Structure 1
Amino acid sequence: MKTLPRCATALVLALVLAVGPAGLAASPARADQGRLRLEAGWAALAPGVGYRELTVRTPHGDARVYAVRADLRGPGVRADLLFPGAVAARAPLTAMAGARSAVAAVNGDFFDISEEQHPGVAATGATSGPAVYRGRALKAAVPQAQRFGWWPPPGDTDQDVLGVGVDGVARLGRLVLRGRVRAAGGAWPLGGLNQYALPVGSIGVFTPEWGEVSRARAACGNDESRKAPCTAQTREVTVRQGRVAAVSDTPGSGPIPAGSTVLLGREAGARALAGLPVGAPVAVDYRLESSEPVPFRFALGAYRLLRDGQALAGLDATAVEPRSAVGLADGGRVLTLLSTDGREGTSTGLSLTELARTVSELGCPDGVYLDGGASATLVARDRATGELTVRNQLDHGRERPVPNALGIFAG
């Protein structure tokens, strides 16, 4: 028997494999429901990066799982954030991964995908959670009630992230926005950074990284409901070279020029900004404060599945959907990216509790889940041909454009 890779060694004691002529493991007994059936060894995508396909037996049927394992200690092996170049933008995962020559990638955070409850307001495509890129704060988290996707387990928030520190080690943490707007009339805390939703009564800052999409969505919903109406009490102030360059009573759209920032206030925040005329001096400072001592080189929003080998309490055990997740092993030096089939063909998706068990049985004591449903996508490059392809079966056979992703690079 071949030696199993580090992230699969936990399966040795749990499984007895019967291999048939086609090289596939025989179906496990009913007592093994929820266990993995290994169908092949890890195939090398690049030095330090492997790929394999698995089958998970569940009471609701077989689920196909596609996984990429990356040893971040390997020469040239690293992980990074993929995004289309703007916070409020989306692109197919194959396009983002291909543009950066990634070896593999999995879709990322939940995002603003529909605004049916706000007529005339376009969905922004921006993610719910924070993001850091090349050590720079890209965006902060929306209010908890404004997130899209499943509610996180108790204790998790939209400020939770998965990332890699400047030391090259992957870790889970929390990023909290800290910032202020200072002017002659006073100082006000910032409630948002490049977010599709702002807390009621707050002021948010938008930078050129936001993109061209209208900022109107940031004044919709409230701290209790994403579906609450938009407020008409808004004020937008454009700041350039430390002074107010333009003002408006409505949120704007279009690209923000380099060297400029836009402040958008709603309710009390709008009233505060109304006191800033054109030409008034304004200072804006912000940062994402990390719960971790090592700064993140990159990070994206993600929700805990596992901590120290134990599934988090409160994970949904009922809803079965296509899923994406990332497991951490060897103290954050090994990452396992995975995604499932679901909604198409004979393969089912997984519940969150089944997803947690799957990540654990791959030998990863810590793990997070990412956006799922039609967003669940895993791509990997064929080592022989160099072709980057989608490995899981997609909802309706189409790639859904996504706002960010976790990419793996080698060489």
Structure 2
Amino acid sequence: MTRRTGRLRTALTVFAAWSALAGATLAGAAPASGAPAFGRLAPGVRYAEFDIPAARGVAHAHVLSIDLGNPRVSVDLLHPGAVAARAPISRLADAQGAVAGVNGDFFNITETQHPGVEATGASVGPAVASGRTTKAAVPDGQRFGPALPPGTSTEDVLGVGTDRRARLDALALDGSVVTGGTRLPLGGLNQYALPVGSVGAFTSDWGRASRVRATCGTDTDRAAPCSTDTHEVTVRDGRVVSSAGVPGSGTIASDTTVLVGREAGAQQLRKLSAGERVVVRHRLVAAASKIPYHFAVGGYPVLRGGRPLAGLDDVTSAVRTAAGVSDGGTRLLLLALDGAPEFRSGLTIAEVADTMRQLGSVDAFSLDGGGSTTLAAREPGSTAATVRNHPSGGAERPVPNGIGVFSRS
């Protein structure tokens, strides 16, 4: 972890003036005295750190400014190769060749309510990596993290389309299991929690983790007991090859899909016989954009059209990670607060929304925070990313995904 340099002690009056300065500063023009000074990390990528006076004390921010209008620059999902796996952001950035990155979605971090069931480490919301869907969203009542603001859901994403523009959207699963004359709706894709009564599909993207957690809790109560009515069917090359009464674990081959059912879904899967032909289809459908997504990660909106969402928490302060969209989607801002003891009080979600607005964002999105908050970036000329903030747990927390920033020299 690198030591912070050039800390800027900004006054409240300067913070209030950032909205007027942000456009020039983020574009790389010389900032006014006291404004956050962005330095070049790579073509189209800039970095700054500065203090933010907040209700519970001073917070310290680390921010990346990414010019998506620059053809050398791109953004994609950082991930360890499996949905149900975790790794530190700096390691993920180095493995995928990113010049910088921040942590991503909230995730299934613990399972204290379900003895004997292991946490999967899988993220809450939808995920798209390099144009390929890897998972869909768990039910709202099954998410980990703070309460969602009114009008938001686990399907909300921050994404970058094939048009290279960033935007906020929602991605819903549209899928089916077809066998003979029967068509069953698909309730999940590589999720740690399935809707009650549904059938979910697990592919090679899931990883080795047990699929039992997918049948625990309910749509409204994450801590509810695991279902006692479950069934699992393995489909290889489009035909049923095996079944079991309890969800299993282990690597899933690329030509294989494992179907897990609970309650009514389990009853339907029990009707399938070995050798029977089964077709599984799935896709994510965007609520707003008709442009396909190259990248998407889950979280929840805090700012839309320059206005904070109604009902944002203005009481609970914490270390946070957030993303902002400006300049018609051609600029992406990634913010990670510092978790050092003197700054650990952090910001409320309402203060995060205001901070992103002051930095020039029109839309903003909250990502996982607390001990997960990490911003890693290469020093100019280096091939390895180093952690720029101080994670509040004292070291990098392994996470399931993140936002990676790529820049060709």
TM (norm. structure 1) is: 0.91
Question: What aligned pairs does 1:176-191 form with structure 2 within 5 A after superposition?
Answer: 176-184=172-180, 186-191=182-187
Determine if the alignment matches structure 1 residue 372 to structure 2 residue 372.
Answer: no
Deviation at 1:396, TM superposition (A): 2.8
Paired residues of 1:235 and 1:264 also in contact (CA < 8 A): yes
Match of 1:333 in 2: 330
2:346 aligned partner, one-letter code: G
Determine if the alignment matches structure 1 residue 50 to structure 2 residue 46.
Answer: yes
1:389 aligned counterpart, secondary structure: strand
Match of 1:313 in 2: 310
Deviation at 1:148, TM superposition (A): 0.3
CA distance in structure 1 between the aligned counterparts of 2:15 and 2:164, rounded to whole angstroms: 37
* Gap regions ≥5 residues in structure 1: 1-21
Paired-residue identity, %: 50
Match of 2:29 in 1: none
CA distance in structure 1 between the aligned counterparts of 2:93 and 2:280, rounded to whole angstroms: 34
Match of 2:251 among 227, 252, 255: 255
1:335 aligned counterpart, secondary structure: strand
Paired residues of 2:114 and 2:225 also in contact (CA < 8 A): yes
1:345 aligned counterpart, secondary structure: helix
Taking a change above 3 Å as real, the CA distance of residues 40 and 155 of structure 1, as seen in their structure-2 partners, is closer
Match of 1:122 among 115, 118, 124: 118
Determine if the alignment matches structure 1 residue 28 to structure 2 residue 24.
Answer: no
CA distance in structure 1 between the aligned counterparts of 2:384 and 2:257, rounded to whole angstroms: 40
Question: What aligned pairs does 1:235-254 form with structure 2 within 5 A after superposition?
Answer: 235-254=231-250
2:64 aligned counterpart, secondary structure: strand
What is the RMSD of the two structures over their aligned residues, measured on CA atoms?
1.8
4+ residue runs of structure 1 moved beyond 2 angstroms? Answer: 22-29, 31-40, 342-348, 384-387
CA distance in structure 1 between the aligned counterparts of 2:353 and 2:122, rounded to whole angstroms: 26
Match of 2:159 among 159, 163, 188: 163
Taking a change above 3 Å as real, the CA distance of residues 24 and 108 of structure 1, as seen in their structure-2 partners, is closer
Deviation string, structure 1 residues 8-45 (Cα, Å, up to 9, x no partner):
xxxxxxxxxxxxxx98766526x778776946511100
CA distance in structure 1 between the aligned counterparts of 2:6 and 2:193, rounded to whole angstroms: 51
Match of 2:99 in 1: 103
CA distance in structure 1 between the aligned counterparts of 2:351 and 2:211, rounded to whole angstroms: 38
Deviation string, structure 1 residues 224-276 (Cα, Å, up to 9, x no partner):
10000001111100001111011000101000112000000000000000000
Deviation at 1:384, TM superposition (A): 4.3
Deviation at 1:386, TM superposition (A): 4.4
Paired residues of 2:76 and 2:295 also in contact (CA < 8 A): yes
Paired residues of 1:64 and 1:348 also in contact (CA < 8 A): no
CA distance in structure 2 between the aligned counterparts of 1:310 and 1:380, rounded to whole angstroms: 30
CA distance in structure 1 between the aligned counterparts of 2:17 and 2:273, rounded to whole angstroms: 64
Of residues 378-387 and 316-325 in structure 1, the stretch that sits farther from structure 2 once superposed is 378-387
1:112 aligned partner, one-letter code: N
CA distance in structure 1 between the aligned counterparts of 2:357 and 2:61, rounded to whole angstroms: 14
CA distance in structure 2 between the aligned counterparts of 1:135 and 1:120, rounded to whole angstroms: 36
Match of 1:79 in 2: 75
Deviation at 1:184, TM superposition (A): 2.6
CA distance in structure 2 between the aligned counterparts of 1:35 and 1:245, rounded to whole angstroms: 65
Paired residues of 1:321 and 1:343 also in contact (CA < 8 A): no
TM (norm. structure 2) is: 0.92
1:208 aligned partner, one-letter code: S
* Gap regions ≥5 residues in structure 2: 19-32
CA distance in structure 2 between the aligned counterparts of 1:394 and 1:169, rounded to whole angstroms: 30
Match of 1:205 in 2: 201
Of residues 244-253 and 282-291 in structure 1, the stretch that sits farther from structure 2 once superposed is 282-291
Match of 2:264 in 1: 268
Deviation at 1:137, TM superposition (A): 1.6
Deviation at 1:342, TM superposition (A): 3.3
Match of 2:143 among 130, 147, 167: 147
2:94 aligned partner, one-letter code: G
1:255 aligned counterpart, secondary structure: coil
1:251 aligned counterpart, secondary structure: coil
Taking a change above 3 Å as real, the CA distance of residues 87 and 148 of structure 1, as seen in their structure-2 partners, is same
CA distance in structure 2 between the aligned counterparts of 1:375 and 1:182, rounded to whole angstroms: 40
Taking a change above 3 Å as real, the CA distance of residues 182 and 382 of structure 1, as seen in their structure-2 partners, is same
Match of 1:342 in 2: 339
CA distance in structure 2 between the aligned counterparts of 1:38 and 1:87, rounded to whole angstroms: 42
Determine if the alignment matches structure 1 residue 297 to structure 2 residue 297.
Answer: no
Taking a change above 3 Å as real, the CA distance of residues 200 and 351 of structure 1, as seen in their structure-2 partners, is same
1:407 aligned counterpart, secondary structure: strand
1:300 aligned counterpart, secondary structure: strand
CA distance in structure 1 between the aligned counterparts of 2:244 and 2:305, rounded to whole angstroms: 50
Taking a change above 3 Å as real, the CA distance of residues 25 and 125 of structure 1, as seen in their structure-2 partners, is closer
Match of 1:136 in 2: 132
Deviation at 1:59, TM superposition (A): 2.5
Paired residues of 1:233 and 1:267 also in contact (CA < 8 A): yes
